[in-house]
Amino acid sequence: MDRLGTCMDALRVLARSNDPDRAVLVERHIDAYLTTETVSVWQALEWLCKAIRDEQAEGREGENWSVAKGYIRSVLHGLA
């Protein structure tokens, strides 16, 4: 499976989770994806953002993508 798909599988589970460590787990999965992807960090973040937008468009009940989106924003801010 591709790296983005693996990351999104994990993030999808966490988007439905109420785990108190969810933020840390989201960050770890995103960081792992960014450090193993062979393209630029900017390109990898763009793909990740699009994948999350697509997931949100599905409108599945009980999913909360705010933690992942917030962390991606902070990574982008750090790169700017």
Is the CB of residue 19 less than 8 Å from the CB of residue 26?
no
Q: What is the largest CA-CA distance in the chain?
A: 34
Q: How confident is the model at residue 38 (pLDDT cuts 50, 70, 90)?
A: confident
Q: Phi, psi (5° rounding) for residue 26?
A: -60, -50
The predicted-structure confidence for 63-78, as pLDDT tens digits, reads as follows 999 999 999 999 999 9
The answer to whether residue 39 scores a pLDDT higher than 80 is yes
Per-residue tokens: 13: 């589970």
What does pTM read for this prediction?
0.91
Is the CB of residue 72 less than 8 Å from the CB of residue 49?
yes
Nearest to 42 by CA among 77, 76, 3: 76
**Residue-range domain boundaries for the chain:** 1-16+39-80
